Amino acid sequence: MRFEEARHREGASALARLGDLADRYRRVRAFSERLSRPLAVEDQVIQSMPDASPTKWHLAHTSWFFETFVLSAADPGYRSPHPLYGYLFNSYYEAAGERHCRPRRGVLSRPTVEEVREYRRHVDRHLLALLDRAADGEAPEWAPGVELGLHHEQQHQELILTDIKHAFQANPLRPAYASGSSPLTPFPLPAGERGLPGERGLSGWISYPAALREVGHDGSGFAFDNESPRHHAFVGAFSLASRPVTNREWLAFMADGGYTRPQLWLSEGWKTVGAQGWDAPLYWEQKDGEWWTMTLSGMRAVDLEEPVCHVSYYEADAYAQWAGARLPTEAEWEVAAEDCPVAGNFVESGAFHPRPATDDGSTPLRQMFGDVWEWTRSAYLPYPGYRPFAGALGEYNGKFMCNQFVLRGGSCATSRTHVRRTYRNFFPPDARWQFSGVRLAK
């Protein structure tokens, strides 16, 4: 649903849904708090690279979003707790004014974690009051902004997890995010399943005939602007792997010189391999001849049956070259996903890590949703007829349509209520700190 059209269309139904919106607001906001609970105050301040942000910055920025795009517009009496919060917690909205330099978010000790929590409570009080007042009158035009703000906050919940994972790996002490004492149950790996020598089953190929298809979001329910409009696309015959590439398969790629043969790589990818010294997925470490990986629950031996994770587009593409296959286009992925339920290993499982595929017979394609984001070979570009959200929110997605690739399907750090079949995630081809994996096509 496009944001600006939404303002009008929502009308009648929105009113009825305001109560539901307030409930969801409370749930989503509380989940952010819950995610930060296992962290020490010190953990919430640090920034391990320019692309990542401190936890407390995420907690504040998502509040700033409601403040800026809902409260400031809807409530003339609203005042931010501090006149500089707008400067500190604007991420990239040029239309919302100057902002603090992104790579320097980790040098801000103030506001403190407690002051940020107070900021959240301040915004919550005003926003819930606003929703409460609106319940008596006409459908408010700011309601879609609340909806957008919740999806926005869910995106940052995923980043809270990926960013703290990156930060913890920068520390030789290798702190664990989730432990036994965590309120979120850690990933219970089935006994006897680690590093089994036997293969649990080859990936199969599922075939799809050539056809003129429709892809993109049809306007029923929430979607980001970049998923619209729904449009025709000719999709040639293709086959999709029945499950993502596993660590076992990735180790075979590595053993076959995957990271040392330039012929397999895109030119920019090969440069990155050299400059960054890549020889395995991010977070993998070799100890005594065995590969270990850092997870949010601490260091673990690499599980051979898990989907490979934390690989870049460059690596995904090189792997596909090596395997004599290719990555799917996003249209192919979307066509195939039509028959798959939006279910899987999402953040709610508390695993915070991809799990091996299980064959429950329910669908030929396994793990299309959850576990790992799947790189497509589609550059992140506007759909035919794309129009960005109106106003400052037009900067939400459109201005990043350059030098990025689309990922599909969500990961173990994504909320189940956040993802869709038409959902287009995007990252530059060298990004590895997201839970990103590979599904082959041919």
Contact indicator for 314, 304 with CB cutoff of 8 Å? no
**Long-range Cβ contact pairs of 414-418 (< 8 A, separation 24 or more):** 414/154, 414/158, 414/346, 414/347, 414/370, 414/373, 415/31, 415/154, 415/157, 415/158, 415/346, 415/347, 415/348, 416/342, 416/343, 416/346, 416/347, 416/348, 416/370, 417/154, 418/151, 418/154, 418/155, 418/158
In this structure, the number of other CB atoms found within 10 A of the CB of residue 337 comes to 20
Our finding on whether 377 is near a copy of itself (CB under 8 A) is yes
- Where is 330: in which H helix or E strand? helix 330-337
- According to CB under 8 A, which residues from 263 to 282 bind a copy of itself? 263, 265-270
Alpha carbon 52 to chain centroid, angstroms? 13
Task: Encode burial over 198-229: b for 16+ CB neighbours within 10 A, e otherwise.
Answer: eeeeebeebebeeeebebbbebeebbbbbbbe
Comparison of 318 and 357: residue with beta carbon closer to a copy of itself: 318
Please, which residues bridge with residue 299 across strands? 294
Our finding on whether 12 is near a copy of itself (CB under 8 A) is no
Torsion of CA 155, 157, 162, 165, to 10 degrees: 170
Q: x/- binding map, residues 191-230, to a copy of itself, per CB under 8 A?
A: -------------------x-x------------------
User: CB of residue 49 vs a copy of itself: minimum separation in angstroms?
Assistant: 9
Q: x/- binding map, residues 314-353, to a copy of itself, per CB under 8 A?
A: x-----------x---------------------------
Of the candidate residues 236, 257, 274, 341, the single one contacting a copy of itself (CB under 8 A): 236
Contact indicator for 337, 421 with CB cutoff of 8 Å? yes
Our finding on whether 104 is near a copy of itself (CB under 8 A) is yes
Comparison of 46 and 245: residue with beta carbon closer to a copy of itself: 46
Our finding on whether 121 is near a copy of itself (CB under 8 A) is no
User: CB of residue 428 vs a copy of itself: minimum separation in angstroms?
Assistant: 8
Our finding on whether 107 is near a copy of itself (CB under 8 A) is yes
Our finding on whether 41 is near a copy of itself (CB under 8 A) is yes
Of the candidate residues 36, 47, 228, 242, the single one contacting a copy of itself (CB under 8 A): 47
Of the candidate residues 48, 246, 297, 414, the single one contacting a copy of itself (CB under 8 A): 48
Comparison of 285 and 348: residue with beta carbon closer to a copy of itself: 285
In this structure, the number of other CB atoms found within 10 A of the CB of residue 72 comes to 16
Which residues contact a copy of itself (rule: CB under 8 A)? 40-43, 45-48, 82, 84, 87-88, 92, 94-95, 100, 104, 106-113, 167, 170-173, 175, 210, 212, 231-234, 236, 262-263, 265-270, 313-314, 326, 377-379, 381-382, 384-385, 394-395, 399-403, 429
